[in-house]
Structure 1
Amino acid sequence: MQKTALLPYARLPRAHHDRHVLSSTVDVFGAAHWLLVERAPEPGSGVRPFDALVVSVHPYGNVELTELSAVRARWPHLDRLPKGGFVVASPRARWYEAADQVQVFDELGHETASFSVGDAVEHMLVDEAGHLWVGHFDENPDGINRWSATGRRVWTSDGARIPGLFDCYALNVSGTVAWACPYTDFPLVEIRPDRSDRPVKVWANTIRGARAVAVHGKQVVFYGGYGEERDRLAHGELTETSVEPTEVGLLTLPDGAPPGHRRVVGRGSRIYVQAEPFTTWDVFDLNG
């Protein structure tokens, strides 16, 4: 089976390797961000507000540091807002902490808003307009929603006729468009919320279990799968109604090793992969 090696993309500066990586992402403009704390949370410990450092590495290599005050999420999602500042979101929204589930910080690291987007958050990605795309896993039937940075829901998958939307396995946000591949039917779904005539388009798909998706023109690639297909890179071509598989291979780290435990982020034609110890991001680009 053909192997495709990821390309090195961004690296956490070595001066910050003594801290624990609590969360990390690549934003819609291609900057990589690490949310760092002094030490890893202890199992079973309660959540008390804590200070954290965001280290941002921009596409041309310049580094930016932002101190966040009184972060409350234990295992957070992280993303940057287009005009500066960050969003930190807890995957869970239990009744006693729902109002603080999502925290919005300005460019100085001060909290400006907090709100809930619903329990069981699998993905949280910010688009170029500053909206939050949230995909839920199967403990919450809310599916996929788009929120303003002040907590107003501006689009919902309710009534969108997305087949088998029980768990948002894969979510890709680029520009103001989202692509998804949800469990159980695993269709490829394009969501353009600003289009009034046809905001959602669905293609039938036989590739199961992907955890990331990238799209470029008529070409699509799915990364991940079940069991031995965990490192699968499955290519396809879009027809009017379906994804036609074209080839299947494996995605590896730049040195040829399997990624193992990893984070993945889909942005347009790109899939970013971060393997333990989570200090580097590597990239696969469907657009060459």
Structure 2
Amino acid sequence: MQKTALVPYAHLPRSHHAHHVLTSTVDVFGTAHWLLTERAPQRGGDVLPFDAMVVSVDPGGSVELSELSAVRARWPHLDRMPDGGFVVAASRARRYEDADQVQVFDALGRETLCFSVGDAIEHLLVDEAGHIWVGHFDENPVGIRRWSPTGQLTWTSDDAHIPGLFDCYALNVSGTVAWACPYTDFPLVEIRPDRTDRPVRVWANRVRGAKAMAVHGEQVAFYGGYREDQDRLAHGEILEASVEQTDVVLLILSDGSAPGRRRAVGRGSRIYVQAEPFTTWGVFDLSS
């Protein structure tokens, strides 16, 4: 099978490699962020809350450091707000008070807001307007929801008639638009909550198990899958009612190796992939 290599994108500065990477992401503007602590969390033994550092590397390579005070999520999701602050959320809400699951920090690293979005967060992505998009996995099958920067629920998939929405396998947020590919039916879904005419569009899709995707015009690429398809990159064309698969390749790291354990983030036409030890991001751009 033909192979496509990721293009090197962003690197955690070597001076921070001694820290533990709690999580990492790439925001809607293309800046990469790493949430760091002095040591790895220990099950049941950590004292919460704790202080953490965010190392940000923008597309030009400039580095910015941000200190966050009193973080409460042991295994968190992270993204940056448009005002320079950050949102940190615990993927599981069971051990937190309802109001403590999601923390919003200002640009000085001070908590300004906390609220709950519900248990079992699979994806948390902030758009250009500061809306917080959350996709849940099947232990809390509430689907996909959008929250305001002040913690108000502004959109939910409850009445969107998305077929088989039980687990949000893949979520892509770019601009103020979201794309999803949920289990069990794996349709391609476009979500534009602020549009009065057809805020949600759905296309049937035969690619199963993708964990990330990229969309560019009428083209789409689904990354990942079950078992031997975990490195699959399936290209497709968006037609009137369905996605027609056009090509399948293997997505590999820039050095030619398979990613192994990885994170993947979809943003518009791009899929960012980060392999263990999670210090480097590579990118596949569907528009290239």
TM bin, normalised by shorter chain, reads over 0.9
Distance 1:153 1:229, change over 3 A: same
2:271 alignment counterpart: 271
Question: Could you tell me which amino acid in structure 1 is paired with residue 173 of structure 2?
Answer: V
1:43, distance to aligned residue in structure 2 (A): 2.5
SS in 2 for 1:15: helix
CA distance in 1, matches of 2:212, 2:264: 7
2:87 alignment counterpart: 87
Residue pair 1:47, 1:74 contacting (<8 A) in 2 also = no
**What is the TM-score of this pair, normalised by structure 1?**
0.99
2:170 alignment counterpart: 170
Find out whether 1:205 has 2:205 as its counterpart.
yes
CA distance in 1, matches of 2:134, 2:124: 5
SS in 1 for 2:158: coil
Structure 1 residue runs without a partner (length 5+): none
CA distance in 2, matches of 1:214, 1:111: 33
1:72 alignment counterpart: 72
1:14 alignment counterpart: 14
Q: Show structure 1 runs of 4+ deviating over 2 A.
A: 43-47, 95-98
CA distance in 2, matches of 1:6, 1:31: 17
SS in 2 for 1:103: strand
Find out whether 1:251 has 2:258 as its counterpart.
no
Q: Deviations over 1:58-84 (max 9, x none)?
A: 111111000000000010000000111
1:197, distance to aligned residue in structure 2 (A): 1.3
CA distance in 2, matches of 1:227, 1:95: 32
Distance 1:96 1:9, change over 3 A: closer
SS in 2 for 1:186: coil
CA distance in 2, matches of 1:33, 1:95: 26
1:286 alignment counterpart: 286
Question: Could you tell me which amino acid in structure 1 is paired with residue 186 of structure 2?
Answer: F
SS in 1 for 2:205: coil
1:93, distance to aligned residue in structure 2 (A): 1.2
CA distance in 2, matches of 1:91, 1:150: 19
Aligned alpha-carbon RMSD (Å): 0.8
2:51 alignment counterpart: 51
Structure 2 residue runs without a partner (length 5+): none
1:92, distance to aligned residue in structure 2 (A): 1.0
CA distance in 2, matches of 1:46, 1:129: 35
CA distance in 2, matches of 1:281, 1:96: 31
CA distance in 2, matches of 1:96, 1:66: 25
Task: Give the alignment of 1:1-288 within 5 angstroms.
Answer: 1-46=1-46, 48-94=48-94, 96-288=96-288
Instruction: State the percentage of identical aligned residues.
Output: 77
CA distance in 1, matches of 2:74, 2:21: 12
Question: Could you tell me which amino acid in structure 2 is paired with residue 134 of structure 1?
Answer: V
1:218, distance to aligned residue in structure 2 (A): 0.5
CA distance in 2, matches of 1:47, 1:119: 22
CA distance in 2, matches of 1:247, 1:96: 45
